[in-house]
């Protein structure tokens, strides 16, 4: 038993060190420290503090910690440069590890909230995402880097409605658009598509507008603060997208699906992208689904829970839309479309 416990402790220590390395990377991401080193090559802690307008005492201790966890190397005495591990967390690097660092800190926040709220049963809702001021600006980029490649490599090809909407120069509305990553990617793939993105967080809308302008898409895309319950579009909508957001409003599903149905033009479709909550609890033991199990706990804090594809399809049928189910990401995610007859 002693040998087994020792082995368990060593495994836990390795996991704990991995979590700490993500925490340190997050600080470097959120405060531009990694980006500044990438741009300038090397710097002392004091120089890095000046470049990023951060406190020198904090930056010195961060450099020591980042060096200890091999995110930084010494280029000269008291000077640091990015190590390969640190470079992997640069937000603009293809395949960046940035989402893992952001998710680690967000998960720790949600775990602490769940630990306290479990005693009272309170479920404070979406505002928990904005309780840590450094996290919200990175929430959209985290989702973009996590799911943007999946959208382009699997989802667009799996869902024929995108090409149909593009062919007729249709209008797409993205409800809960975040930083606009989905609508921007769709607009790049569909050159005739026009889009409107709505989100409840003003920070996300500012990011979405700025990024659309950088990509030269602001003539076709418009972003505004709003939500599914209070939006009005002057013309019929050909596509309504909800990406990993339907579970946030599932307690109002009858009203939500009525709204989706009322805004669609004939031949138009609602496209719902959600995590695919497994029918069997045993599937949660899969390494690829463990994160989903924890996220469902954090969703409970926000008043939500993950859904099964059949539940979504049934709601489409209830409002007269024809459902179609498409599994992606080896079945971890599902895209369910509901089409209004032409």
By mean pLDDT, which of 62-66, 125-129, 278-282 is the weakest? 125-129
Tell me the C-alpha distance between 124 and 14, whole Å.
Answer: 34
With a cut of 90, say whether residue 174 has pLDDT above it.
yes
Instruction: Tell me what pLDDT residue 14 has.
Output: 92
Is 314 within a domain? yes
Q: Which residues pair with 222 in a beta bridge?
A: 196
Q: Where are the strands (E) in 171-235, listed by range?
A: 171-175, 194-199, 221-225
Q: What percent of the chain has pLDDT over 90?
A: 87
Verify that 165 and 249 share a domain, yes or no. Answer: yes
Q: DSSP assignment, residue 284?
A: G
Locate tokens 């004091």: which residue?
Answer: 46
Q: Where are the strands (E) in 42-144, listed by range?
A: 43-44, 72-76, 79-82
Instruction: Tell me what pLDDT residue 236 has.
Output: 86
Q: DSSP assignment, residue 130?
A: G
pTM above 0.95, yes or no: no
The residue out of 100, 120, 152 marking a domain boundary is 100
Question: By residue range, what is the domain housing residue 333?
Answer: 144-279+304-339
The residue out of 48, 69, 100 marking a domain boundary is 100
Verify that 165 and 314 share a domain, yes or no. Answer: yes
Verify that 317 and 213 share a domain, yes or no. Answer: yes
Calculate the CA dihedral of residues 208, 211, 212, 214 and round it to 10 degrees: 160
User: What is the chain's mean pLDDT, rounded?
Assistant: 94
Residue 199 contacts residue 205 (beta carbons within 8 Å): yes
Angle between helices 290-301 and 98-117 (to 10 degrees): 50
Verify that 96 and 157 share a domain, yes or no. Answer: no
CATH code of residue 11: 1.10.10.10
Tell me the C-alpha distance between 35 and 48, whole Å.
Answer: 10
Q: Where are the strands (E) in 189-279, listed by range?
A: 194-199, 221-225, 237-243, 264-275
Verify that 244 and 328 share a domain, yes or no. Answer: yes
Is 165 within a domain? yes
Verify that 92 and 191 share a domain, yes or no. Answer: no
With a cut of 80, say whether residue 1 has pLDDT above it.
no
Verify that 319 and 219 share a domain, yes or no. Answer: yes
Total count of domains within the chain? 2
Is 127 within a domain? no
Q: What are the pLDDT digits (tens) for 85-130?
A: 999 999 988 899 999 999 999 999 999 999 999 999 999 988 898 8
Residue 229 contacts residue 259 (beta carbons within 8 Å): yes
Residue 275 contacts residue 210 (beta carbons within 8 Å): no
Is 131 within a domain? no
Locate tokens 């992997």: which residue?
Answer: 88
Q: What are the pLDDT digits (tens) for 289-342?
A: 999 999 999 999 999 999 999 999 999 999 999 999 999 999 999 999 999 998
Verify that 209 and 263 share a domain, yes or no. Answer: yes
Is 243 within a domain? yes
Q: Which helix (H) or strand (E) holds 335?
A: strand 333-339
């Amino acid at each position: 038993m002693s040998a087994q416990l020792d082995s368990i402790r060593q495994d836990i220590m390795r996991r704990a060190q991995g979590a700490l390395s993500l925490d340190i990377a997050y600080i470097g991401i959120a405060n531009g420290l990694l980006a500044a080193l990438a741009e300038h090559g090397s710097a002392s802690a004091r120089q890095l503090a000046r470049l990023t307008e951060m406190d020198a005492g904090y930056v010195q201790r961060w450099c020591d910690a980042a060096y200890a966890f091999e995110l930084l190397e010494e280029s000269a005495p008291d000077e640091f440069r990015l190590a390969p591990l640190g470079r992997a967390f640069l937000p603009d690097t293809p395949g960046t590890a940035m989402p893992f660092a952001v998710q680690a800190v967000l998960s720790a926040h949600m775990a602490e909230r769940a630990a306290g709220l479990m005693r009272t049963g309170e479920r404070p809702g979406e505002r928990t995402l904005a309780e840590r001021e450094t996290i919200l600006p990175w929430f959209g980029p985290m989702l973009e880097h996590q799911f943007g490649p999946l959208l382009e490599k699997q989802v667009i090809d799996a869902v024929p409605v995108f090409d149909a909407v593009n062919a007729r120069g249709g209008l797409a509305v993205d409800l809960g658009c975040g930083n606009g990553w989905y609508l921007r990617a769709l607009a790049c793939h569909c050159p005739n598509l026009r889009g409107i993105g709505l989100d409840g967080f003003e920070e996300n809308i500012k990011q979405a507008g700025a990024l659309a302008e950088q990509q030269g898409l602001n003539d076709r895309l418009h972003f505004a603060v709003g939500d599914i319950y209070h939006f009005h579009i002057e013309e019929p909508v050909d596509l309504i997208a909800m990406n990993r957001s339907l579970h946030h409003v599932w307690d109002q599903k009858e009203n939500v699906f009525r709204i989706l149905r009322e805004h669609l033009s004939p031949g138009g479709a609602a496209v719902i992208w959600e995590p695919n909550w497994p029918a069997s609890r045993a599937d949660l033991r899969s390494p690829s689904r463990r994160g989903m199990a924890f996220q469902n706990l954090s969703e409970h804090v926000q008043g939500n829970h993950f859904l099964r594809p059949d539940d979504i399809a049934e709601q489409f049928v209830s409002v007269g839309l024809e459902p179609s189910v498409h599994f992606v990401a080896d079945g971890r995610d599902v895209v369910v479309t509901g089409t209004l007859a032409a």
